[in-house]
Chains A and B, each alone.
Chain A
Amino acid sequence: MTTPHDLEDQVRNRFERTMSDTTAPVDAFRTGAVARGRRLRRRRRTLITVSAITAIAVTGLGIQQASGGSTARESTDYAGNGLPDVKQAATPSVSWWDLPASEMVARLEPLLSTGVRIVDPLIREPGATEENFGFLISGITSPTSGGTGGFNMIFYSPEQPDEAVRDDGNDPGDSMTIMAEGPRYEQQVDCTWLLSQNKTGATCDQLTGPGGERAILMEDAYDGIELIEFRMLRTDGSMMYVSTSNSSQDKWNEPTSYALALTPAQVRAIGESDVWYD
């Protein structure tokens, strides 16, 4: 006769025997999870931005009304203080940093010099059904310079204060917070700070963008790799990042060409173009 304990053991054995030889598509899981996880994180941050900005706007409105001020002035005041525009932040689905990768390529190509080509752009992560948003990795070639390498473009949504973001409703960390990662945007557009972190003798130009934005153009060279990076902190708190190198490898480990496909001025022009914000 089978006792309940026997039955429990038999079910355990049956599970083990039946499932032990099954394997998971590890690489697809990793790339898919990273792509979806980044989108999830960005959505959460955007949502919290909307909440925070709305709260600021409502508070500001109340203060202005209480003091008899004109409500028509407030959006100008907030913009003047460098805070995100309420109207723009309240419509995250059309935020410039959520541009689909295919559209990024479409807008990028007309900005390139004759003959310069974007090669094998990563529109979506392997296994993912959705496109990447605000995130483009590709190769790039130039017949003029003979350069072949990599091209990256990332649109960062406005940075969040530490410990400000709550998870959505489905995981066990509902009440936990997500910390901001890496250097702050302000540091990433500060040549003094960047050079203090750099050990390879990079050069950095502190720039002012077309709308008065704080920006940097950095050139670096190490182990045969040449790298140009442009970053611009926009007045809405978001950040533009453009980079190119003479390596088409994923992590830019080894050079694939002696020359770069773009000049520093061209990288800057791409980053400062207004085609990204329509």
Chain B
Amino acid sequence: MSQRQKLDDEFAAFVAAQSHSLLRKAWLLTTSRHRAEDLVQSALAKTYAAWSRVRRADDPVAYTHAIVTKTFLSERRRRSSSELPVAEPIDTATADEAADVTDRLLLMAALRQLDRLDRAVVVLRYWDDRSVADTARQLDLTEAAVKNRSLRALRTLQSDPHLSDLATGSNP
């Protein structure tokens, strides 16, 4: 097996193992499945382009997640505040699946109310389970700024009428 084939096989295994997790994170960041797929595709392309050294990194998974976050925030500069809510297509689904889809749409609508940097803070803190210090490092913020943005974002989500379980603490 050639060295190139070996690297390609390794990369394929990496994509198979990480795609779902990367997509979920990107979906929470962008609030749109289509944009999330674009974001993951773009991050994986960058990872592939540098794979021969990324694979030697201490944590290739963290590296790729960092690319997703950084690419999302760099798009922020290009898109500015022009981001518009996007209706996601809903496929034919069972009642349970339809409930899940509705749940997801409501969550995305609520996340969309957040400033994109606040959204990144929330996703890194509560989806990636990163510490305040790590989140601050990733987003180039102070720890105090992460705490402030996090608190502000949580209050916004809590006040969203569609996420009433956050206000009451219920778990439907």
Contacts and interface: CB of A to CB of B under 8 A. Distances in A.
A178 interface: yes
B47 interface: yes
Contact of A24 (B3, B40, B42, B125): B40
A35 B122 CA distance: 32
Contacts of B127: 12, 15, 19
B136 interface: no
Contacts, number: 152
A66 to B, nearest CB: 39
Interface string A168-183: 0011110011110110
Name the 3 nearest CB pairs between A and B, nearest first. A37-B48, A33-B44, A36-B45
A260 to B, nearest CB: 22
Interface of A is mostly: helix
Contacts of A8: 125-126, 154
Nearest to A40: B49
A6 interface: yes
Interface residues of B, number: 58
Interface of B: 2-4, 7-8, 11-12, 15-16, 19-20, 22-24, 27-28, 37, 40-54, 63, 66-67, 70-71, 74, 100, 103-104, 107, 122, 125-127, 129, 151, 154, 157-158, 163, 165-169, 171
Contacts of A6: 169
A33 B129 CA distance: 27
